[in-house]
Structure 1
Amino acid sequence: MRRLLALVLVLLAVASAFGAAPAKWQRAAQLPAPRSEVGAALAGGEIFVVGGFTPSGQGSSRVDAYSPATNRWRHAPDLPLTTHHPAAAGYRGRLYVAGGYGADGQPLAAAHVLANGRWTVLPAMPEKRAAAGAAFVSGKLYVVGGVVRTDGRRLATTTLRYDPARRRWARVPGPTPREHLGVTALNGQLYAVAGRKLGFDTNLATFEAYRPGARRWQRLAPVPGKRGGTGAAGNGRLIVSAGGEELGGTIRTVFGYDVVSRRWRRLPDLPTARHGLGVVASASRVYVVAGGTQPGLAGVSGANEFLTLR
């Protein structure tokens, strides 16, 4: 018995010294209709991929839903309009989609919700938004950042908040103006991760947080690498920043920000580097879906990969 106890203690010591095996990205069922510059969100236990560019460079109204439990996709009801670069967020089993670029290449003010298999038109946003991000905090939808208009390429300076109960929009403080950013929520706070001003050469590492009711966003430690066309997801105590594009190509590196220690750490690189992707947390995993493997419209992908964080 003593020998067995001693052996167990030795094994525990070895495990403590060397740590658990490092996490690795794994491949899941591919998106049936590859797209880039998509909206993506978790709703009702499924990961929804909304709109985006098709391989032919056309905008799409298609919506696909992935079940992490079964590793299967289904074709969900299409959006009532064609869009790319939309913002998406899930809440209480419903999928909310706001803005994006329309068929004419201009930002949209349109907003919709998918519930019980049907799309419903919501009140239009008070300002058009494309290449923004969205997340829910305390039952309110926040649309953060993005392009307001292509004429002059004006960036949003405020955040748009939607109250589903009152069906009303309001303006609240915005982060540093930028587009193609990652937006997520964790523990009652919004996070705006990286992004860019207007082109591949204007990528930012800016990282900010906002607690509803505050007068301004709080600057946090910058992302270790500048990135635009990126995505973000909150999982456990980590804000995960994945993907993006720059002048030299697509970005493979992934970083995690610990909201307790307030430090960034390097996570395993993406197996398939891409931008314009969906980054979504589900249970202990972060999924990275769709996107483009080359800057711009080239290399539209249906890749679906996940990393287990704990």
Structure 2
Amino acid sequence: MATQALYPGTTRTRRRALFGLLDADSWSWAFVKALFWFVLMIFMLGYIPDRAYYFTVNRTIDLGILAWSPVNFCPAGNRTLPCPAPVGAVVPWDISPQELALPAPRTDGAVVQSGTSLLFVGGSDGKSAVDTTFVAKTSGTGNFDKWDPNGPKLPAPRSNAGVIYSGGKIYVVGGLDANGKPTDTVFVLSPDSTSGALGKWQTSDEAKLDLKLPEPRAGASLVAASDGLFLVGGTNGKGPLDTILKSTFDKKTGAPGKWTPQAGKLYTAVTDATAAVNGTFVWVYGGTTADGKPTNLVQRAEYGTGADATNIVRVGIRAGSTNLPAPRTNLDGYAANGNLYAVGGGDGSKPQSTLYWAVPTSTGDLPEWKHVDVSDLPAAGNAGGAPFVLGPNAIIVGGTTADGVQASSIRANIAPEAPFFQLGPVGATVPALKIDGEIGQQLGYLNANTIGIVDFAIFLVIGWAFAHREQIAAWRERRRRERELRARA
């Protein structure tokens, strides 16, 4: 008699999760679920309240990861600049109202700021150096009032001099006299820091300062060091100089000391160049070389170490994109927001209108000089103007254009606004409320706290639901039956 085989029973099928990729009872699936809830908690209890705060106080907020945005909308104030504006770009220039013109045309002068006073010092009327100082008061953000022609006069006419405000005093170093010859003098103005009164100009001898230059010098660039002043390049009347002089401030009195040559010399002697301190380097660009022609050379002066940490020990160059795109001399150059600007200047034939700018790296390299047509000066160009930065604006006063020596000024915003809307594949920038002041900050905290509490309450509800699955399932079943009964009725 045959023996009946035992019934094999039922085979238990293991559940799969994540589209069948993982075992539903495995540690891998448990890890994925835990990671999901962990990220969701950070998102709802951290990221969303954070965005709520900045939505209240900022002009825009970023959502997601905006690595690339093909859709961009910028404020009208940026005008014809590309959107988004390149780093360091300048909004197109405007001519200031005629009421803000100098009392007389000037070129090769300089503007310095002392407190709320702006001083246009010396310069030339197109024929010879003058001794005038025009004074204006700052007004609001990035603006100034009418120039007063009755400022303190220099002890002697000077143009193309190095002028700087440092340590509570204004210094006019070297420059051309009324006969067009370089000088070795230094004039000093000591404004009253309390009353704002400017006082009178003094020679270095009258101020009891040993600041007479070792030799006559004009067309040099005067920049501030951490412990003194650097006088870079220039001409002695015979040709461009490659020396860099330094006056070191006394550690006790703060008075500037005698000019001494630095160990580092310019790689190429230049006059009428622009020098600017940026980071741990002194940049010297453009100017006129010994052959009398403008140059596009960019030179970088480096500090030493130890006892020479504040002294220039070497000056070098680097070919290629580091140099200016075209030769320029007598630039309306300046440094602002960590960028170097080469504005206008002459090419040996006429004033130019181009604006180039470079963004130095932290290691002291200039990857390139950038140029955007809409940021150029008006077509007449400008050389020998007096550039300065006031609030968000770069302003150039006077100078020589294709129409001659000017009394007017031009200005441009050097801080274009970021786009108010951007859209990318996985991120966006959207407009926000921008409520300023203490009120905005407190409302931001309140919004963030409220959203955080609401999100926490949502997690409590979710947690209760997971802990009472049977009750939830029974409730859903009752709801289903009620719908069926209503449908049959």
| Structure 2 length-normalised TM | 0.55
In structure 1, what is the equivalent of residue 221 of structure 2? Answer: 133
**One of 92, 96, 121 as aligned partner of 1:24:** 92
1:71 aligns with 2:144: yes
Which residue in the other structure is 1:111 paired with? 186
Partner of 2:331: 230
- Which residue does 1:158 correspond to in 2? 243
Alignment partner of 1:269 out of 376, 379, 391: 376
| Corresponding residue SS for 2:330 | coil
Residue 139 of structure 1 aligns with an amino acid whose one-letter code is D
Tell me whether 1:307 sits opposite 2:307 in the alignment: no
**Partner residue, 1:51:** 122
Match of 2:314 in 1: 216
Q: Residue 36 in 1 paired to residue 107 in 2?
A: yes
Query: Which residue identity does 1:19 align to in structure 2?
Result: P
* Contact residue 108 and residue 160 of structure 2 kept, 8 A: yes
Counterparts of 1:85 and 1:287, CA distance in 2: 18
With over 3 angstroms needed to count, the CA separation of the structure-2 counterparts of 1:302 and 1:198, relative to structure 1, is: farther
Name the structure where strand makes up a greater proportion of residues.
Answer: 1
Alpha-carbon deviation of 1:43? 3.6
What one-letter code is carried by the residue in structure 1 that aligns with 2:224?
F
Residue correspondence of structure 1 range 267-306 to structure 2 within 5 A: 267=372, 268-271=375-378, 272-294=380-402, 299-306=404-411
Q: How big is the shift at 1:227?
A: 0.6
Q: How well do the aligned residues superpose, as a CA RMSD in angstroms? A: 2.7
In structure 1, the residue matched to 2:257 is 167
TM-score by length of 1: 0.85
Q: State the partner residue of 1:120.
A: 202
In structure 2, the CA distance between the partners of 1:64 and 1:183, relative to structure 1 (3 Å rule), is: farther
* 1:25 and 1:270 in contact (8 A); partners too: yes
Question: In 2, distance between residues paired with 1:213 and 1:238?
Answer: 22
Match of 1:82 in 2: 157
Evaluate the alpha carbon distance shift between residue 198 and residue 74 of structure 1 in structure 2; reply closer, same or farther with a 3 A threshold: farther
- Looking at structure 2, the residues matched to 209 and 65 of structure 1 have their Cα atoms a distance apart, in angstroms, of 34
Structure 2 residue matching 1:195: 3-state secondary structure: coil
**Mapped partners of 1:92, 1:32: distance in 2:** 29
Aligned partners of 1:189, 1:45: CA distance in 2, in Å? 29
For residues 27-70 of structure 1, what are the alpha-carbon distances to aligned partners after superposition, in whole Å with 9 as ceiling and x for unaligned? 33222221112233344354432212214x12201112344435
Query: After superposition, what is the alpha-carbon deviation per residue over 1:54-95, rounded to whole angstroms, capped at 9, x for unaligned?
Result: 14x122011123444352123421111112211111224422
- Relative to 1, partners in 2 of residues 1:182 and 1:231: Cα closer, same or farther, differing over 3 Å? farther
Deviates most, 72-81 or 234-243: 72-81
* Distance in 2 between residues matched to 1:95 and 1:217, nearest whole Å: 27
* Contact map agreement 1:94 1:114 (CA 8 A) in 2: yes
Alpha-carbon separation, structure 2, partners of 1:188 and 1:80: 35
* Match in the other structure for 2:233: 145
Tell me how far apart the structure 1 counterparts of residues 324 and 279 of structure 2 sit (CA, whole Å).
20
| CA–CA distance in structure 1, aligned partners of residues 226 and 108 of structure 2 | 27
Q: Whole-Å Cα distance in 1 between the matches of residues 161 and 312 of structure 2?
A: 26
In structure 2, what is the Cα distance between the partners aligned to 1:208 and 1:202? 17
Q: Work out the CA distance in 2 between the residues paired with 1:166 and 1:101.
A: 22
Ranges of 4+ aligned residues in structure 1 off by more than 6 Å: none
Shift of 1:163: 2.3
Change (3 A) 1:299 1:177: same
1:189 aligns with 2:281: yes
Stretches of structure 2 that go unaligned for 5 or more consecutive residues are 1-54, 56-61, 64-68, 75-81, 192-197, 205-210, 250-254, 304-309, 416-489
Runs (5+) with no aligned partner, structure 1: none
